[in-house]
Structure 1
Amino acid sequence: MNYMPVTDSMFLLAESREHPMHVGGLQLFSPPEGAGPDFVSKIIDEARSHTDLAPRFGMRPADPVSSVGNLWWAKNQKIDFEYHVRHSAVPRPGRIRELFQLTSRWHGTLLDRHRPMWEMHVVEGIEDGRFAVYTKVHHSLFDGVSALRVMQNALSEDPDDLEFRAPWDKHEKRSKPSTGSSRNPLSLVGDAVSLGTTAAGLVPASMKIIGTAMRDHNFTTPFEAPRTMLNAPIGGARRFVAQTWEIDRVKSVGEAVGATLNDVVLAMCSGALRKYLMEQNALPDKSLTSMVPVSLRPDDPDHSGGNAVGAVIASLATDVEDPLERMMAIRESVQSAKRMMGELSPLQIMLLSAVNMSPLAMSPIPGFVSLTRPPFNVIISNVPGPRNRMYWKGARLDGVYPASIVLDGQAINITLTSNADQLDFGIIGCRQTVPSLQRLIHHLEDSLTELEKAVAATTV
């Protein structure tokens, strides 16, 4: 048995029926030309035949029944691949809607702690001839960024490469827990615990934050978020929706007014959340805030070395009606946070980022969410994905949609990833707390269209 680090065990200890602690993703594929009707069945047979696993895919809690047993890893000597690799089909008429319904159901169920905590569902029956792969792994094994990279290890940039690779193959180069600007923000919850002994570094950093907050009205601090319907206790059922947008379309909005792609993404999400909450008669007068992981590296091309990443709190300016003014207000908020954190050491950045996220670690405590203000209203993460078009045994990867974690007080999570020339959004929410979640997809499109019209008007 191997000792389980606290950054792993905390996700097991905090898990309950209402709070599954796994991350997942839905991949959509187009079969290669000439693929027969048994193409998906052959993929499943090949997947089940790849039995030489990378170590983490064979690990489970040493004693799943006791809390103490969730502090040590054990290794399964025998893996039931018919259990872990599942053959599924969407019900008729086989629309993407039915696929999302299945994904929602799968993402809301707990993983079996008596087995290695991962599953792969290979899904056929989609009306346009495509097939899908939904995977989920426990956050104690991989965070969302690492899980995405592990999946990419099985893919190829060559459409003629027909060799089958499984994400769990032992001989493949494994992805280690990620660091840097692509880090999963939820991993910082663990840092809030594991870095507690270095809290002295917070004192000078806190003084800088207080000074920045006093002189810069654009700087957003934790617990400035208003109470909303998104920040209530949650149930165990989930709803998942996803959509793709062209990167060039998003970039062109930013380039017209000197904003970054991430600024435009945040503005899209802000406009969508604003419209959604208005439909629910639940839009607060005060602006929503978001936790946003950002790169803090200077634009200077000669600058090199060191990690420069922080989890900052940004205003979403949902109290601003004009879409362009809203986006520029968001940009100013993010830039203000980056300027402040640029004055801190790497250790202070990590500590403060962990502190920003630390209230999430206390959300399972009864009454905590109801009695305290939310540190922020929503998490919006932009995770780097494959830069080129990818293939799996000749099948083209059309979409890769992340499905993250929601918690008490954080009933919705928006994660997107780049995929060649597109941005793939995945939104997961509590089915009870956030009704009609699919409306957010329509509002994202409307929000982007409004931004396009607004920047076009400024160039006339």
Structure 2
Amino acid sequence: MGLMSPMDSMFLLMESREHPMHVGGLSLFTAPAGDRSGAARSLYEDLIAGGGELAPTFRRRPGRLLAGFSALQWDSDDDVDIDYHVRLLSLPAPGRVRELLELVSMLHGSLLDRHRPLWEAYVIDGLADGRIALYVKSHHALMDGISTVRTWQRALSADPATRDCVPPWYRRPRTEPAPSSLLTRSLDAGRAVGRLGATIPRAATGAYALARDYPQPRPFQAPETMFNVPITGARRFAAQSWPLARLRAVAARSGTTLNDVVLAMCSGALRDYLLAAHALPGDPLIAMVPVSLRGADQSGTESGNSVGAALCDLATDSADPADRLARIHGAMTRSKASMAKLTPLQLLGMSAVNVAGLALPALPVPLPRSAPPFNIVISNVPGAEEPRYWNGLRLEAAYPASIPLDGQAVNITTVSSGGGMHFGIVGCRRTVPHLQNLLTGLDRALIGLEESTA
């Protein structure tokens, strides 16, 4: 079907039982009043019926090489079993959010089957409050988190009266490019090699400038924490939402950005969590913050990965919420200014250095112990501002579920959607006890930011 990009290959090579490499998301829908009976079954039938042909991205599975799976080439499944990929589940009584999060924790810790296209969806009924849950996961080699959010946003409608929503895995008329022939792909590959040869001299010329102007903080200067340890394959998932207006008000009063406020909330929550465990280091924690390299006009159904990375000082050594926010704003401003001066090739190079630490556990030989490249990954993915609907079901919340790794036992990802900032926290079940306490810390951190900027 086609060659994988180097980054897509890396995500497949990094995967093991202890390191599932898929991203996921938990969405909560509300049916119109008086129309909740059978809503989950209706959603499930919409997702398996869909109509039309499956989009190429959702047919992709790793190709076969000798006796195993290839991490170099994609294969296309021409006989996708949609009933395997989309399933209907029901929560046990009493149907609390607690039971839902336990179920999602279990689903998020299980590997995707490489014999099949690398995605699954679960419609979950049985919540006591009548809401319907939808958990979806796809391999990071298939698409990155921002592409996943955009794909789902395009499947939803801004009109509550719409009844013709199409699942993202079905091809939309005239929006998917025609399959390329082997000759076309060969010509494209030849042109890509030619472009690569032309960029090597420019990359070498810019290497000195990149090293000279590399922004602080730099990789492998983070302190050791309880999060930077080997992990198991079991996961715990925690999620909660806050009104977007509260975060924007803090940003406006402090002259910072919405993303700065998200990072400051995470900083306060991590500081409280580590203090309670008597494990707060004297030096500030460093976060890796993914940055989308896709244009705003690029299709959300585009597969693969197009993500850069910046490092941010979280200022967890400070007890003052306003000081933490100011330092975070300064660190992100410096990173953005440095990134703006780089060529696309240099930007990819700097991002590759920043994310290199994520791949180290996958190397076949042990390396000498060093400081962590960073302490945690924190992502903020923008969603749709206005409410979204699936055939009359209102999307109430969209909680992302990302990837912890060896040395990165916790991941925090947020999605801003429908007037809310939705936090999804994923951690190793064994090495990060009482993960839900981070939610309490996020709430306290937001209150502290509001009071300090009032």
SS in 1 for 2:32: coil
Q: Is the 8 A contact 1:364 1:408 kept in 2?
A: no
Q: Which amino acid aligns with 1:102?
A: L
Partner AA of 1:249 in structure 2 = R
Retained in 2: the 8 A contact 1:90–1:123? yes
Residue identity matched to 2:236: R
% same residue: 47
Q: Which residue of 1 aligns with 2:181?
A: none
Instruction: Give, in angstroms, the shift of residue 45 of structure 1.
Output: 2.2
Aligned partner (choices 230, 234, 247) of residue 233 of structure 1: 230
Pair 1:323–1:381, CA change in 2 (3 A): same
Choose from 382, 389, 396 the match for 2:394: 396
CA distance in 2, matches of 1:414, 1:293: 11
Local SS of the residue matching 2:70: helix
Segment drifting more, 445-454 vs 340-349: 340-349
> Who is 2:262 aligned against?
265
* Cα displacement string for residues 356-413 of structure 1 (whole angstroms, at most 9, x for unaligned residues): 1122122223675771221111111111111210000100000011111111111111
Q: 1:74 to 1:282 in 2, by over 3 A?
A: same
SS in 2 for 1:23: strand
In structure 2, the partner of 1:254 is 251
Pairing partner for 1:441 from 439, 442, 449: 439
Q: Is the Cα–Cα contact under 8 Å of residues 13 and 362 in structure 2 kept in the other structure?
A: no
Unaligned runs of 5+ in 1: 177-193, 297-307
* Stretch deviating more after TM superposition (75-84 or 200-209): 200-209
Contact 1:232 1:370 survives alignment (8 Å)? no
In structure 1, what is the equivalent of residue 409 of structure 2? 411
Shift in Å, 1:219:
2.7
Task: Indicate whether 1:223 and 2:220 are aligned.
Answer: yes
CA deviation string 1:177-219 (max 9, x = no partner)? xxxxxxxxxxxxxxxxx98995765666554465557xxxx93
Aligned 1:60-459 pairs, distance under 5 A: 60-63=61-64, 66-67=67-68, 69-171=70-172, 207-208=208-209, 211-212=212-213, 219-294=216-291, 311-365=309-363, 368=366, 371-456=369-454
Distance 2:359 2:346 in 1: 20
Q: CA 1:109–1:12 in 2, change beyond 3 Å: closer, same or farther?
A: same
- Report the alpha carbon displacement of residue 118 of structure 1 after superposing the two structures with TM: 1.1
1:185 corresponding residue in structure 2? none
Distance 1:415 1:164, change over 3 A: same
1:47 aligns with 2:44: no
TM-score by length of 1: 0.86
| Deviation at residue 427 of structure 1 after TM alignment | 1.0
1:341–1:33 Cα change, 3 Å:
same
Q: Which runs of 5+ in 2 are unaligned?
A: 178-194, 294-305
| Matched residue type, 2:26 | L
Which shifted more, 194-203 or 218-227? 194-203
Distance 1:203 1:69 in 2: 31
Write the distance in 2 (CA, Å) between the matches of 1:15 and 1:207. Answer: 34
Whole-Å separation in 2 of the counterparts to 1:379 and 1:57? 27
User: 1:199, 1:351 within 8 Å by CA — same for their partners in 2?
Assistant: no
**More divergent stretch after superposition (23-32 vs 366-375):** 366-375
Q: After superposing the two structures, state which structure 1 stretch, 28-37 or 364-373, moved more.
A: 364-373
Question: Which region of structure 1 is more displaced relative to structure 2, 39-48 or 277-286?
Answer: 39-48
Indicate yes or no: 2:10 matched with 1:13.
no
Superposition deviation, residue 2 in structure 1: 3.4
Matched residue SS, 1:230? coil
SS at match of 2:171: coil
Over 3 Å counting, the alpha-carbon distance change for 1:309 and 1:98 in structure 2 is closer
Aligned residue pair count: 424
CA RMSD after TM alignment: 2.6
Aligned to 1:303: none
8 Å contact 1:54–1:174 — kept in the other structure? no
Matches of 2:6 and 2:130 in 1, distance apart?
A: 44
- Partner of residue 190, structure 1: none
Q: In the aligned structure 1, how far is the partner of 2:450 from the partner of 2:30?
A: 31
TM-score (norm 2): 0.87
